[in-house]
Structure 1
Amino acid sequence: MKKYLLLGFALFIASLNLRPAINSIAPLLDNMRDSLGMNASVASLLTSIPVLCMGLFSPIAAKMSGKWGIERVLGWSLLVIGIGTVLRFFTQSVSFLLLTAFIAGVGIATAGPLLPGFIKRHYSKHVPSMIAVYTVALTLGAALSSGFAGGLQKGLNSWQGALGIWALIAFVAVLLWWLIVMRHHAPAVQQPSAGTKSSLPWTNKKAWMLTLTFGLMAMLFYSFTAWLPQIIQGMGYSKSYAANALTIFVVVQIPVSLILPFLLRKFPSRRLWLTIEASLELIGLIMLALSFEPMMAAVFIGLGAGGLFSLNLLLPLDATDNPQEAAGWSAMTQSVGYVIGALGPIILGWIHDVTNSFSSAIAGLIVINLAMIVVQIAATSVKKKQQSNNKPVLVSK
């Protein structure tokens, strides 16, 4: 029991680091744009570059884990996140800031698909509960970084410091990962057998359906992460109100992550909860389109986004039989999915530059949400397919 508690603690602290480099941007964006002279399209890259990295480097993460082990690669990825974040203390140009986004993005991209594989290996009988721990930590990291960004900027008298200070959590995570995981509980690196390949399931129809639903979810999620405060400010609300709405959007995802495993035990249908969560997000979007109570709209969007993220992490684990397969399927859904997701903030930034308004962008997000619901239903309707190794895939309904 002590072993699992320690591993769970290390997992929690590691997961805290997957969002601060992204979520600390939006509350400080106006000051950063004024200081560095960025337009909206360039500013959107600060969110899109890490997300794009999460897409491009996920397949490499799966291959690295097969060669050096999930635990070892995760340790190095946390160090890379820390380096990319601490460099922000020294930012004096747009190009350097974009470089820090890339470095942190590489670390996030490597850790993202491997943490579910780590859960599959060490907590095979408690996957939904540990996915909840992972998601709560990830969401808490996002909430802390978005909620305290403004206060840190005032306290440190520097937006660079407000961005770079989050490296402390990363370096603490590296230390704990070494002391708890690598020294005592990291399995010896094993070459995967023919039945446990970590290769990505490019020819599997179900894997592609899961990838598309993940991509549409990510497209919506990172559009909100990057631009929700600016969307609300465009409605005539104050900067502080808009920043609080972003914090609410993030914070409400925490109880959803905690409650969802219990709901899944009582009503295990993935399709049911995917549809409910997407519908909650849709309600929030419609409220934004009507300029009606944006704080409450942020609550609905956050409730939907939090559940959708957890469920999309679970689907590849449902469909696989061992940690290496789980890492491979997670890497594929996240690789292509995050590339799709990276387009969201860029497109919204471009629309704002062209129209000087987010009205058209909100309408586009509603269309994406409706398309996501259709894909989710299709993805959870795919019949059992034989994988390339002839093992049956568990259907996530």
Structure 2
Amino acid sequence: MRKNLSPAPWLPAVLLTGILLASLNLRPAISSLGPLLDSVIEDLQLGGLVAGLLTAAPAVCFAVFGSLAPKLAVKRGPEVIVLGAMAAIGLGLLLRAAAPNTSFFLFFSAVALSGIAVGNVLMPVLVKQWFPDRIGRVTGLYTTTLSLGTAVVAAVAVPVNEAFGGNWRFGLGVWAVPALVAFGVWVTVSVGVHRQQRSARPARPPLPAPQERSARPAETTARTAAAVNPWRSPTSWWLAVFFGLQASAAYICMGWLAKIFSDNGLSEATAGLLLAIVMGVSIPLAFVIPNLAARRPNQGPIVIVLGFCGLLGHVGLWFSPASGSFVWAVLLGISSCTFSLALTMIGIKSRSSDGVIKLSAFTQSIGYLISIPGPLIVGILHEVTGGWQASIGFMTAQLLVQIFAGYMAGRSGPIEGPAPEPQAKPVPQRLQGT
């Protein structure tokens, strides 16, 4: 058997399949719980505080566990870590469904969410590393798959649960199956990547002669590593704020938009349909927008267009939430495509895979922390005022900040700073003065 094998031709196709399957599993743990939450609360006798923790847990886990992804990916490789993430999601969902009490239910929910958090961070990294010339296209594919998985699971969670006799344990546990399928594909990916790395490993080069040795390469490497520091990059902070506020807007939409419509005279069925429209509009656009963004040096204009649609939707909710409800839902759905835009910007705002790992972890960890208060504030304002005007006003103010942050992130350069200019070669001394 030959030792130096060429890279397997099937590996990119399997990698793309693995990325799409992983994306499909990054939301069912969350979107399947909401429709069955009342049954879970009744069976496990969850208190109001614990139920509130369940709704806030995704953002908290995304922030905490997502920050661990860079070190794990650098140490073991992102493919191996995504393999572990799929295992965590599958086992977490299975064991959560079998949880005998509240403590186990919360623990295994956190296990599944930890896998999702790591997957969130490493998807842009894998796209940058394996498809650097197709970042927009592949990002569009996996964000579309993610959105589709979210919408479909939310829509069929109750019918699937009823098909299992109304037992919420089967209704929640069945969503472990796609994660375990994805796990099997990532086993193949990990084996293929390991073989490729082993076959491509070059022989150890001979040491240079003493007079040829220089400290400059080490110094250059150190400077390059030090330059990739998201904490010191304005681009990273603008992008983190943009990501966090768009996530906050998404959680507000999923948690409160249907109630805003129903409280203004629409039936619950109609309100649910309008929420589905918001989620559905973003599915085709989640493929188009990353392609547009990846081709432009400045994504700021796209941020402004999407934000303007959101502002029009908020104005409609303020003045006439019922009569123009379909139009407002479509506008808000277009505005929600900032999620795929933000992920694309993560992939193109660094020149290296290591930089994307750090930027993705920084942006999503800080961003999900920023997203936590928004839905709570909307609920508090509604409870205090008894109406939705104050809440919509808060949503509009948050959207204005989001637009500004996204515009600044879009016009900023990579987190490493400007590309260094090539240094001119020194003129030989014998040619000087000629």
- Quick check: TM above 0.5? yes
Please list, as runs of the form range in 1=range in 2, the aligned pairs for 1:348-387 lying within 5 A after superposition: 348-351=378-381, 358-382=388-412, 387=417
What letter matches 1:303 in structure 2?
A: I
What letter matches 2:137 in structure 1?
A: S
Q: Deviations over 1:356-391 (max 9, x none)?
A: 65553332112111111122223334467755xx85
Please tell me whether the aligned partners of residues 351 and 414 of structure 2 are also in contact (alpha carbons under 8 angstroms).
no
169, 176, 184: which is aligned to 1:175? 184
Answer with 341-350 or 13-22: which moved more. 341-350
The structure with the larger Rg is 2
Please tell me whether the aligned partners of residues 44 and 226 of structure 1 are also in contact (alpha carbons under 8 angstroms).
no
Q: Deviations over 1:30-66 (max 9, x none)?
A: 5555666667775443232112211122221011111
User: CA–CA distance in 2 between the matches of 1:154 and 1:314?
Assistant: 38
Counterpart in the other structure of 1:115: 123
User: CA–CA distance in 1 between the matches of 2:16 and 2:290?
Assistant: 16
What letter matches 1:10 in structure 2?
A: G
User: CA–CA distance in 1 between the matches of 2:272 and 2:51?
Assistant: 17
The structural deviation recorded for 1:279 is 1.8
Answer with 340-349 or 133-142: which moved more. 340-349
Counterpart in the other structure of 1:234: 263
What letter matches 2:339 in structure 1?
A: F
The TM-score normalised by the length of structure 2 is: 0.79
Structure 1 unaligned residues grouped into runs of 5+: 393-397
Please tell me whether the aligned partners of residues 259 and 271 of structure 2 are also in contact (alpha carbons under 8 angstroms).
yes
Determine helix, strand or coil for the equivalent of 2:132: coil
Please list, as runs of the form range in 1=range in 2, the aligned pairs for 1:157-196 lying within 5 A after superposition: 157-179=166-188, 181-186=189-194, 188=197, 194=222, 195=224
Counterpart in the other structure of 1:256: 285
* Structure 1 pair 238–162 and aligned structure 2 pair: CA distance change class (3 A): farther
Question: Does residue 17 of structure 2 align to residue 9 of structure 1?
Answer: yes
Structure 2 unaligned residues grouped into runs of 5+: 1-8, 202-220, 421-434
User: CA–CA distance in 1 between the matches of 2:296 and 2:56?
Assistant: 35
Q: Deviations over 1:96-139 (max 9, x none)?
A: 44334322221111111111111111001111111111101111
Question: Does residue 243 of structure 2 align to residue 214 of structure 1?
Answer: yes
What letter matches 2:73 in structure 1?
A: S
The structural deviation recorded for 1:142 is 0.5
Please tell me whether the aligned partners of residues 287 and 297 of structure 1 are also in contact (alpha carbons under 8 angstroms).
yes
Determine helix, strand or coil for the equivalent of 1:83: helix
Please tell me whether the aligned partners of residues 40 and 350 of structure 1 are also in contact (alpha carbons under 8 angstroms).
no
Please tell me whether the aligned partners of residues 85 and 167 of structure 1 are also in contact (alpha carbons under 8 angstroms).
yes
The structural deviation recorded for 1:174 is 0.4
Counterpart in the other structure of 1:90: 98
93, 107, 111: which is aligned to 1:99? 107
User: CA–CA distance in 1 between the matches of 2:249 and 2:182?
Assistant: 29
User: CA–CA distance in 1 between the matches of 2:276 and 2:312?
Assistant: 19
Counterpart in the other structure of 1:132: 140
What letter matches 2:328 in structure 1?
A: A
Q: Percent identity?
A: 30
Counterpart in the other structure of 2:370: 340
User: CA–CA distance in 1 between the matches of 2:383 and 2:101?
Assistant: 21
The structural deviation recorded for 1:248 is 2.3
The structural deviation recorded for 1:330 is 0.9
What letter matches 2:330 in structure 1?
A: V
Please tell me whether the aligned partners of residues 196 and 322 of structure 1 are also in contact (alpha carbons under 8 angstroms).
no
What letter matches 2:177 in structure 1?
A: L
The TM-score normalised by the length of structure 1 is: 0.86
Answer with 197-206 or 145-154: which moved more. 197-206
The structural deviation recorded for 1:350 is 4.3
Determine helix, strand or coil for the equivalent of 1:291: coil
User: CA–CA distance in 2 between the matches of 1:287 and 1:26?
Assistant: 27
Counterpart in the other structure of 2:358: 328
Answer with 34-43 or 296-305: which moved more. 34-43
Answer with 125-134 or 242-251: which moved more. 242-251
57, 65, 69: which is aligned to 1:61? 69
User: CA–CA distance in 2 between the matches of 1:357 and 1:101?
Assistant: 34
What letter matches 1:167 in structure 2?
A: A
User: CA–CA distance in 2 between the matches of 1:282 and 1:32?
Assistant: 37
* Structure 1 pair 240–43 and aligned structure 2 pair: CA distance change class (3 A): farther
Counterpart in the other structure of 1:303: 334
Please tell me whether the aligned partners of residues 26 and 225 of structure 1 are also in contact (alpha carbons under 8 angstroms).
no
Determine helix, strand or coil for the equivalent of 2:230: coil
The structural deviation recorded for 1:229 is 3.1
Counterpart in the other structure of 2:206: none
Please tell me whether the aligned partners of residues 40 and 168 of structure 2 are also in contact (alpha carbons under 8 angstroms).
yes
42, 58, 64: which is aligned to 1:50? 58
The structural deviation recorded for 1:336 is 0.2
Answer with 31-40 or 374-383: which moved more. 31-40
Please tell me whether the aligned partners of residues 26 and 229 of structure 1 are also in contact (alpha carbons under 8 angstroms).
no
* Structure 1 pair 132–67 and aligned structure 2 pair: CA distance change class (3 A): same
The structural deviation recorded for 1:146 is 1.0
Q: Deviations over 1:260-317 (max 9, x none)?
A: 24544776641111111122222223333332344443322222112x0111112222
Counterpart in the other structure of 1:395: none
Please tell me whether the aligned partners of residues 350 and 415 of structure 2 are also in contact (alpha carbons under 8 angstroms).
no
